[in-house]
């Protein structure tokens, strides 16, 4: 499954956030290299539609989609040159499908900042610079090889051209993801460049930031067009210990309506380019994960690999239409249930039953 790699400077709250993500008591010491081993945290994607479906179909349980986060050891200046945890860091982050950057915006005199001040813009630049330098190193190795290949093989010319364009972007200090509209990203895929991965920014904030729309808009602008999530990692790690009622009360004290982890799961899911479709029956109401743009047979293949091959058609109703009708039978007689073929591109919120030839 696809993963988001959590990165950030030391002491920004990565371990605290990761603990909340995994509900595990991982060591969260006030120490730069507290998180050395990569770990995976799997969180449910909150989806209120599942409860509604379970009601309509009298399902025994609901099964949400999930999002996976990998905790990656702290990045430091010089990581791209193999200093400190650099090499391990780069190897781990290369395996992630997207980069989830944790940025400190909370003020706390008791928590040391590596650079002695809280400055989100500069922290983002520090991390992005390291990632850009790592990509430039990749380029230094790849370009001579691509030039050679392009001389003898015409069909390698687009790969070389794409790499040269990417190098120019990197030389100007920009991430490839932020410049992806100008790049032939398909041709670049073989290089597995770090800054071409989708970015998601998590601002580890305190109440002052979380209740200031202006401040959040400022920070959002800093990272646009990437997604930004605002949460208080310390509060999140406390929330997971509480029952629903107490959790709601604690959230209210910092002016929030839902746990930040919910927003993080949604944003992570979105950043990975994923979407869900829904199935429901007496046993379970369930959300299934597909890539955005997946066809009906590909969607069927997520339930069982055989279903993609043996796909015949999909019976599809949109969640909203189904809820309005109140039952599958009523939706059917109202003409809201469509029969879709193998070219159908799944839409978010499709409630589906597949017909297959097994
Ligand atoms: P990491 O090095 O990025 O993994 O950072 P940690 O999660 O270990 O956090 C470093 C220190 O900051 C710990 O003492 C945490 O308790 C504290 N911390 C983390 N998140 C917050 C937060 O949102 N607010 C405050 N005040 N402290 C936090």
Q: What is the pLDDT along the chain (358 residues), one digit of tens a residue?
A: 789 999 998 889 998 998 888 764 333 333 344 343 447 888 889 999 999 999 999 999 999 998 989 988 656 656 556 554 467 778 889 999 999 999 999 877 777 666 666 789 999 998 899 899 999 999 999 999 999 999 999 999 999 999 999 999 999 999 999 999 999 999 999 999 999 999 999 999 998 899 899 999 999 999 988 999 999 999 999 998 888 899 999 999 888 889 999 999 999 999 999 999 999 999 999 999 999 999 999 999 999 988 899 999 999 999 999 999 999 999 999 999 999 999 999 999 999 999 888 6
Q: In sequence order, which ranges of the chain are alpha helices (DSSP H)? A: 14-22, 49-57, 86-95, 120-152, 157-171, 185-188, 207-210, 213-223, 233-239, 244-253, 260-271, 296-303, 305-309, 319-325, 328-333
Compute, in angstroms, the gap from residue 207 CA to the centroid of ligand 1.
Answer: 15
Is 12 annotated for ligand binding? yes
**Would you give the end-to-end CA distance of the chain in angstroms?**
26
CA of 230 to the centre of ligand 1 (A): 15
Number of neighbouring beta carbons within 10 Å of residue 189: 12
Q: What is the ipTM of this complex?
A: 0.95
Supply the pTM of this predicted model.
0.87
Report the atom number in ligand 1 closest to the C-alpha of 8: 3
Q: How far is the CA of 106 from the centre of ligand 1 (A)?
A: 9
Does 323 appear as a known binding residue? no
CA 16–ligand 1 middle distance (angstroms): 6
Residue 83's pLDDT is what?
55
Which atom in ligand 1 lies closest to the alpha carbon of residue 17? 7
Which of 220, 238, 240, 222 has the alpha carbon at shortest distance from 230? 220
Is residue 11 a known part of a binding site?
Answer: yes
**Residues with a CB atom less than 6 Å from ligand 1:** 8, 10-16, 28, 30, 34-35, 74, 106, 108, 111, 204, 206, 232-234
The predicted pLDDT at position 35 comes to: 43
Strand-by-strand arrangement of the 311-318 sheet: 61-63, 284-291, 274-280, 350-356, 311-318, 338-340
Q: Which helix (H) or strand (E) holds 39?
A: strand 39-44
Domains in the chain, CATH or no CATH each: 1-46+65-273 (3.40.50.300), 293-356 (3.10.20.30)
* Ligand 1 pocket: which of 108, 203, 229, 254 to mutate (most atoms within 8 A of CB): 108
> Residue 356: what pLDDT?
81
The protein residue with its alpha carbon nearest to ligand 1, atom 9, reads 13
330 is in an annotated binding site: no
Residue 178, number of CB atoms within 10 A of its CB = 16
**Ligand 1 centroid to residue 79 C-alpha, Å:** 21
CA of 275 to the centre of ligand 1 (A): 31
């Amino acid at each position: 499954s696809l993963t988001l790699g959590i990165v950030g400077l030391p002491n920004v709250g990565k371990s605290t956030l990761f603990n909340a993500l995994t509900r595990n008591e991982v060591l969260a010491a006030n120490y730069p290299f507290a998180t050395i081993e990569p770990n995976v945290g799997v969180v449910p994607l909150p989806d209120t539609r599942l409860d509604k479906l379970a009601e309509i179909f009298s399902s025994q349980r609901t099964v949400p989609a999930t999002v996976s986060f990998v905790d990656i050891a702290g990045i430091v200046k010089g990581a791209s040159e193999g200093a400190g945890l650099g090499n391990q860091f780069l190897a781990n982050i290369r395996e992630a499908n997207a980069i989830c950057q944790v940025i400190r915006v909370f003020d706390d005199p008791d928590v040391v900042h590596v650079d002695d001040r809280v400055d989100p813009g500069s922290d983002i630049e520090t991390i992005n610079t390291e990632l850009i330098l790592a990509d430039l190193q990749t380029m230094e190795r790849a370009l001579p090889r691509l030039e050679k290949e392009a001389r003898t093989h015409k069909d390698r010319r687009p790969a070389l051209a794409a790499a040269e364009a990417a190098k120019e972007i990197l030389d100007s200090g920009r991430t490839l993801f932020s410049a992806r509209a100008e790049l032939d990203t398909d041709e670049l895929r073989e290089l597995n460049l770090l800054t071409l991965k989708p970015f998601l920014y998590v601002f580890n904030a305190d109440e002052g930031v979380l209740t200031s729309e202006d401040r959040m808009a400022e920070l959002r602008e800093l990272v646009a067009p990437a997604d930004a999530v605002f949460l208080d990692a310390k509060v999140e790690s406390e929330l997971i210990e509480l029952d629903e009622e107490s959790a709601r009360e604690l959230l209210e004290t910092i002016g929030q309506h839902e746990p930040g982890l919910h927003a993080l799961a949604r944003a992570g899911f979105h950043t990975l380019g994923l979407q869900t479709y829904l199935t429901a029956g007496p046993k379970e109401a369930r959300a299934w994960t597909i890539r955005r743009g997946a066809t009906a047979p590909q969607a069927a293949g997520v339930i069982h690999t055989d279903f993609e091959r043996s796909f015949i058609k999909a019976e599809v109703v949109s969640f909203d239409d189904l809820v309005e009708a109140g039952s599958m039978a009523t939706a059917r007689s109202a003409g809201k249930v469509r029969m879709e073929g193998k070219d159908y591109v799944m839409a978010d919120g499709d409630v589906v039953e597949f017909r297959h030839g097994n």
